Amino acid sequence: MIVILSFLMCLVSGTSAAEEVKLKGRISGVLCASEGRLCPSDPEHAKKAELLGIFTEGKKFYYLADVPYRLLELNFLKKKVEVEGKVLAEYSSLIVSSMKVGGRLVFKDGYLVDPMGHKILPGDAVWAGGEFYCPKCAEAKGLVKEVVIPVEGMTCPGCEANVERAVRKLRGVIYVKADHRKGEVRMKFEKGSVKLEDMIEAIRRAGYKASRP
């Protein structure tokens, strides 16, 4: 860890704090960057890569602050990335104001920008098919699925909150609403992102009995 931190400090030496910059490079991992190279294009390596950021054409690594990490994962090594923002040299970070991937604007001033040009708060984006969309576009494209799971043991609004909290932790869940009177939890999720068995198990771990619909 000390070696990595020392490397990060060296990479940005000579760059003043809060300096406005435009950078070009690819999304890669810091460990490979410390060896002066991009990560290999191996799906298994991508899962293990620690701390993704931009590895520039000048062989410097920057963590991209404010950019959703899923956007970095989505574009790992795939296309050339252009970012604009302010460098915080002491942290090897770039406070990103805009980001383009393959010439297309995908992030601007804290918002994701989908293929149709819609600005989306990161927490509202639907990630599917190697892309992200606003909720309405995702539903129109059939990228959102809905399921209602029977749940036993909920007796009050507090139980509903417990179930909802457990399910929201699952990656890909967009919407969840538990109803103790009906004995069910209704969910919307990104197509192909989470299995029904994982939803049921999450509810069971919260202390309630769930079964297949």
Asked if residue 131 belongs to a domain, the reply is: no
Residues 6+ apart with CB under 8 A from 49: 28, 29, 31, 32, 39, 76
User: Residue 190: pLDDT band by 50, 70, 90 thresholds?
Assistant: confident
Last residue of a domain, one of 109, 134, 165: 109
Residue with the bigger pLDDT between 174 and 177: it is: 177
- Exposure of 213 in the CB half-sphere (CA atoms within 13 A): 11
Same-domain status, 95 and 152: no
Evaluate whether residue 15 is within a structural domain. yes
Residues 168 and 83 in one domain: no
How many CB atoms within 10 Å of residue 122?
16
Judgement on whether residues 38 and 91 belong to the same structural domain of the protein: yes
The percentage of residues in the chain with a pLDDT greater than 90, rounded to a whole number, is: 49
Residues 6 and 100 in one domain: yes
Residues 40-49: pLDDT tens digits?
Answer: 887 677 667 6
Confidence class for position 180, pLDDT limits 50, 70, 90: very high
In terms of domains, do 151 and 76 share one? no
- Give how many domains the chain has, as a whole number: 2
Rounded distance between C-alpha atoms, residue 8 and residue 161, angstroms = 42
**pLDDT digit string, tens, across residues 50-108:** 789 999 999 999 999 889 998 998 888 888 999 999 988 656 889 999 999 999 999 99
The predicted pLDDT at position 207 comes to 94
CA separation for the pair 28, 41 (Å, rounded): 10
Q: Are residues 73 and 25 in the same domain?
A: yes
Report the distance separating Cα 191 and Cα 179, nearest Å: 23
Asked if residues 86 and 18 have their Cβ atoms less than 8 Å apart, the reply is yes
List strand residue ranges (DSSP E) for the chain, in order: 19-29, 52-56, 61-65, 81-88, 93-101, 104-108, 111-113, 119-120, 126-128, 131-133, 144-152, 173-179, 184-190, 209-210
> What is the CATH classification number for the domain harbouring 191?
3.30.70.100
Same domain as 158, residue 81: no
- 24, pLDDT greater than 60: yes
Q: What's the pTM?
A: 0.70
Average pLDDT over residues 127-151: 87
Domain C-terminal end among 109, 131, 159: 109
Closest CA to 110 of 82, 80, 68, 70: 68
pLDDT beyond 50 at 185: yes
Mark out the alpha helices in 53-193 (DSSP H runs): 69-74, 135-140, 157-168
Please give the pLDDT value at position 141. 85
> Mean pLDDT over all residues of the chain?
86
Shared domain for 102 and 193, answered yes or no, is no
| Together in a domain, 178 and 93 | no
CATH number where 79 lies: 2.40.50
- How far is residue 78 from each of residues 28, 68, 128, measured CA to CA in Å? 10, 17, 16
| Containing structural domain, residue 202 | 144-210
Asked if pLDDT for residue 137 goes beyond 50, the answer is: yes
